[in-house]
Amino acid sequence: MLIDSHHHFWDPTKRDYYWMQGDALTAIRRPIGPEDLRPLLQDTGIDGTILVQTIPSVDETREFMATAAATDFVKGVVGWVDLTAPDVSAVLADLLASENGSYLKAIRHQAHDEDDKTWLARPDVIAGIRACGTAGLVYDLLPKEPELPSCITCVDALPEVQFVLDHIGKPRIAEGSMSPWIDLVTDLAKRPNVACKLSGMITEADWTGWTVDDLRSYADTVLDIFGPDRVMFGSDWPVCLLAGEYTQVVDAARALTSGLSDEDKLKVFGQNAARIYKLDL
């Protein structure tokens, strides 16, 4: 089974998406749901997906779990809880015990939007992520370069938790910059409990002029330092529509992994996601 490990649904007519502001995001400021994605999966041969949170909302998490239960191709959900809340363990237990709780596979917080760039290293946040691990959930890291050092601190405090780095840590691809991203992500990859999503690259590149070659050194770095057992493909659709169509993202990922063996390609395009998120396939 080929799996897209990272995509979103949303409806701006029903919810406020704090990050979806400004003219640059007009193209994606509209309701987008399962039936929009279904034909794209069929066109690209993707069999299953993981639906990822978009705002800090437990209500959205519950809705996404219900969406997964009602949608044949959504195999898991990366949700949100308040990691700093004293009752975080109880909230997680309630979600997992709910009717669609089996679809909740991980938790994420948009750490790169916090004013405190060391937010992930805070003791209360680390305690919350520990609760996620105790509940059997993965934790998705969402940093940009300034937050990567705190990711390392967080992971070092929680060797028992499985982490996944989203969007390869958001390097500044449009600037052609490798530093300090390459040093920080290489350090992070030394921790065996961290995997990485080969996702979100085209929106870090030049939206109107990117090429596969612009992405290659970043993808090669990730495949080298994490290895094919800890990398998984994700589209970041529909955010990716700001810079390219779903088929372009899939084609780019296939081009960037063309040097892998057939066995390793299957890992990157499905097996790793299924194993790490414990998907019921």
Confidence of residue 259 (pLDDT cuts 50, 70, 90): very high
- What per-residue confidence (pLDDT) applies to 49? 98
Mean pLDDT of 106-128: 98
pLDDT single digits (tens) 76-88: 999 999 999 999 9
**Burial tier of 84 (Cβ tally within 10 Å: 0-12, 13-18, 19+):** middle
The tokens of 265 are what? Answer: 């390609």
**pLDDT tens, 38-65?**
999 999 999 999 999 999 999 999 999 9
pLDDT at residue 179, rounded to an integer? 97
What's the rounded mean pLDDT across residues 155-167?
Answer: 98
Instruction: Please indicate, yes or no, whether the overall pTM of this predicted structure exceeds 0.85.
Output: yes
Domains of the chain, start order = 3-276 (3.20.20.140)
pLDDT for the residue 108? 98
Instruction: Provide the pLDDT confidence category of residue 224 given band limits of 50, 70 and 90.
Output: very high
Residues 186 and 229: their CA atoms lie apart, in Å, by: 16
pLDDT given for residue 240 in this prediction: 98
Q: What percent of the chain has pLDDT over 90?
A: 100
Q: What confidence tier does 135 reach under pLDDT thresholds 50, 70, 90?
A: very high
Confidence of residue 173 (pLDDT cuts 50, 70, 90): very high
Give the 3-state secondary structure of 26-40: HHHCCCECHHHHHHH
How far is the CA of 271 from the CAs of 5, 191, 274, 281, in angstroms?
10, 20, 5, 11
The tokens for 185 are 């992500």
What is the structure's pLDDT at 100? 98
Residue carrying structure tokens 């080929």 = 2
Would you place residue 170 in the very low, low, confident or very high pLDDT band (cuts 50, 70, 90)? very high
Task: Quote the pLDDT of residue 3.
Answer: 98
| pLDDT for the residue 257 | 98
Enter the DSSP assignment of 163: E
Q: What is the pLDDT of residue 11?
A: 98
pLDDT tens readout for residues 3-45: 999 999 999 999 999 999 999 999 999 999 999 999 999 999 9
- Residue 96: the pLDDT is 98
Burial 4-18 (b: 16+ CB within 10 A, else e): bbbbbbbeeeeeebe
